[in-house]
Chain A
């Protein structure tokens, strides 16, 4: 049975054992009318039995599926090593792969006449191993499922506290689920960190951080030690900063003014129309913005450049930055609005009562009071801009030019990660690992920005509560 089939079988057995548990509890109580004698509800006995049946079996199945392939492989390698001389052992992974392909061909009754007898023997051994593993898996899973149910059924008595046991299991499960977030973070840190360390053994950290040449595509041959391509990431950092700056130059003023107008001036009717409008802007997928930037805004900007006699390249930083700014406007405006409305109304009323105009109140009282929240919002928006991928992948260039000129083509960290990892790559070449080093930089930067933003916002909240 395949793992999927087995899992379905276990679920069916669990459903059946739910019924068994209820039956057993009723029997122990001495009939349906006497269920009051039990310390827990019959349904709770049923649920507990089902959990006892399903959980261990599914857990076992998961662990088995995770390690089965590697155990079978190592057994196969053992067998192959015994029958081969030392010279061919270097291509072990290739050999093992060939054997697997051969085994599959035998299974599908395809033509295998080109294989040698030894290879066929190995393939047969591999197939046998697989069959055995499947049988063992099926058998063990079913034994565990049925065994656990049997053990529990014997335990059910009138005084057996099914509810307490059940609730322990449930809260354990809930606890595990809440740990997933932590596991994800650990997974991210580990995967990015280990690959980056592997990268830094090939390319020195200083070269990566301070080098001004980026051309990873030069490293064509795998045996080029240290990757003769240049891995100086400064042009990427500069490009990222340039595009993010352009985006923020658009998003901060527009977003702030929208927030101020909507929270202080706008009529409820305008608000009820403008809010969904901002939600539309926020909900548009980034790939759509990318398409918009590359095929509408970039040509517009280029045409404008021709009009005023300015050579603007097709993949200018300006187009990507402006569209990214549009994407970020709703983000800035909604967070700033929260910050503005959180300012106690006494401050505003006091200022207006003293004779200040509305705009003076906003500029000189509300805004300074809300500034920590607004700064927090801007930091979060910057972290968004830095991590944004699709707009720059579609509208910014690939060439790593070290320039602050917005009408030139620049590339960003995220663009390079995508272009290095898109498609099939050899996994331990410097080129591929470089993407993970860039990912590490991106992760650290955005994390630092987020933490700073949260700190500022939290500190601000304490002032008025």
Chain B
């Protein structure tokens, strides 16, 4: 066996081959890396595009145009005779006559109808409330601000040259709107009603308050049920359960339940909770129960992980001082595991907050105008409201839908941020 000095070794064919291939291999390495970076950048672009798209669509919904009408509260217009109740006067007639006074050249019947269409259908109620609040205006002419119709609103937000016709606004209507704008009779205001009013068939009146209240009620039911149940189940499985087939079965079950499509939980809710137990349809109570069953696996899995992470020395110390298993668990293990459990619960609740499909099954898709006031009232929730509005043909619902999505995403962001905060505080300990 003779050892050759590597320095004097003749460059073998193999080495040469390797060196020849090196450039190619390094090029491949670069390409592979570029692919990876592209995928990550693609992900970033998706997030930005999604958020940008929704935000840009949503912005118009936060402002709304109002129009000034010089309402002539004359007894003739109101068909008022002394002693009449102010609530039962002819406000529609008053509104129309006042509008015609502002546009004296509009004569044809069809044109008049078009002109009326520029104002929100709830304008007559607005002027009614105005008079009821100020009875002394009877017989005088007063400026009242009312909402414009949703088509006009969209027109004002999108048109480039005022007076040109656009979708659903023709030449004549465009000219009237132009006149109004030039007279200073149109004003843009922040859309407070979007947060303070409920769903409506008229896009200019629709708001998210009903859906937000429904979401709140549903989430309360979900939290009240899923947190204690989930933590109790996790505590049992981690601290008390003997290792046997029964607990194995429960474990496998929980893992499988976590991956069952959410719509199946809707079927369960419909068949068992509504048809078998006879609970009311569309109620936050039923929605909350269905979402509880759906989020339980998430909470159980997170809580178990958190309980498992508590060092065994804590348990041994407690037991060594004479504490029983239950005492050890409730006064030592659980408090230490709480941040992790809370994080898991918040993530589970965030999931439940964005869930739509199972709620469609149990009838939470109804068109509901009233704000729900109890757990058994018919109601809807934010994601379902988004679904309903996205289906509506009116153009200005597009902005409303995006705005509702922004509100929902805002809540989700808050929840996830608090979960992240909790996790970080827990980790730093």
Contact = CB atoms under 8 A, between A and B. Distances in A.
Given A285-B355, A291-B405, A443 B260 contact: yes
Given A261-B40, A286-B357, A359-B29, A447 B229 contact: no
B422 interface: no
Interface in A140-195: 163, 166-167, 170-171, 173-175, 177-182, 184-185, 187-188, 190-192, 194-195
Contacts of B181: none
B32 A362 contact: yes
A397 to B, nearest CB: 14
A414 B357 contact: yes
A296 B38 contact: no
A457 B271 CA distance: 34
Interface in A277-292: 277-281, 283-288, 290-292
B390 A294 contact: yes
Given A181-B250, A360-B25, A265 B357 contact: no
Interface in A420-465: 421-424, 427, 435-436, 439, 442-443, 446-447, 450-451, 454
B112 interface: no
B357 A357 contact: no
B263 A423 contact: no
B354 interface: yes
B409 A178 contact: no
A262 B356 CA distance: 32
A442 B28 CA distance: 43
Given A357-B26, A427-B275, A291 B401 contact: yes
Contacts of A190: 272
Contact of A192 (B32, B267, B365): B267
Interface stretch (A14-22, A27-35, A305-313, A383-391): A383-391
Interface in A315-341: 326, 329
A288 B409 contact: yes
Contacts of A185: 253, 256-257
A95 B255 CA distance: 47
Interface residues of B, number: 85
Contacts of B40: 257-258, 261-262, 266, 270, 274
Given A187-B268, A359-B28, A447-B260, A171 B240 contact: yes
Nearest to B417: A276
Interface in A324-379: 326, 329, 357-360, 362-363
Contacts of A296: 53
A99 B267 CA distance: 31
A373 to B, nearest CB: 16
A281 B412 contact: no
B341 interface: no
A69 interface: yes
A292 B57 CA distance: 11
A262 B267 CA distance: 39
A287 B54 CA distance: 13
A180 B326 contact: no
B233 A174 contact: yes
B190 interface: no
A66 to B, nearest CB: 7
A195 B271 contact: yes
Contacts of B254: 181
Interface in A237-270: 253-254, 257-258, 260-262, 264-266, 270
Contact of B324 (A167, A187, A279): A167
B125 interface: no
A393 B28 CA distance: 42
Given A178-B241, A439-B263, A188 B268 contact: yes
Contacts of B241: 178
A394 B250 contact: no
A418 interface: yes
A178 B46 contact: no
A281 B47 contact: yes
A108 B249 CA distance: 52
User: On chain A, which size bracket covers the interface?
Assistant: 35 or more
Contacts of A439: 263-264, 267
A277 B46 CA distance: 10
Contacts of B293: 184
Given A192-B267, A274-B40, A171 B236 contact: yes
B253 to A, nearest CB: 5
A264 B325 CA distance: 44
A177 B250 CA distance: 11
A266 B255 CA distance: 32
A407 interface: no
Given A265-B36, A287-B383, A329-B43, A180 B296 contact: yes
Contact of A174 (B26, B50, B235): B235
A195 B264 CA distance: 13
B320 interface: no
B35 A257 contact: yes
Nearest to A435: B267
Nearest to A278: B43
A194 B271 CA distance: 10
Contacts of A254: 39, 42-43
Interface string B403-415: 0010011001000
A233 interface: no
Given A277-B44, A386-B261, A260 B232 contact: no
A58 interface: no
B398 interface: yes
Given A258-B43, A260-B36, A291-B386, A285 B257 contact: no
B46 A184 contact: no
Contacts of B36: 257-258, 260-261, 264-265
B237 interface: yes
Interface in B321-365: 324-326, 350, 353-357, 360-361, 363, 365
A83 B267 CA distance: 40
A417 interface: yes
A387 B268 contact: no
A184 B240 contact: no
Interface in B15-41: 25-26, 28-29, 32-33, 35-40
Contacts of A388: 261
A389 B263 contact: yes
Interface in B371-429: 383-384, 386-387, 390-391, 398, 401-402, 405, 408-409, 412, 416
B277 to A, nearest CB: 7
B262 interface: yes
B366 to A, nearest CB: 8
Q: Which of A257, A278, A290, A383 has the most CB of B within 10 A?
A: A257
B229 to A, nearest CB: 5
A197 interface: no
Contacts of B360: 393, 418, 421-422
Nearest to A439: B267
A286 B357 CA distance: 9
A175 B42 contact: no
A154 to B, nearest CB: 25
A261 B266 CA distance: 38
17 contacts: A171-B240, A173-B232, A178-B232, A191-B270, A270-B40, A277-B44, A287-B384, A288-B386, A357-B29, A359-B29, A360-B29, A387-B263, A393-B387, A394-B390, A421-B267, A421-B270, A447-B260
Given A178-B236, A184-B268, A360-B29, 7 more contacts: A178-B241, A258-B39, A265-B37, A283-B412, A285-B408, A421-B267, A422-B365
Interface of B: 25-26, 28-29, 32-33, 35-40, 42-44, 46-47, 50, 53-54, 57, 228-229, 232-233, 235-237, 240-241, 247, 249-250, 253-257, 259-268, 270-272, 275, 277-278, 293, 296-297, 300, 324-326, 350, 353-357, 360-361, 363, 365, 383-384, 386-387, 390-391, 398, 401-402, 405, 408-409, 412, 416
* Closest 4 pairs (CB-CB, A-B): A387-B261, A285-B354, A261-B36, A191-B271
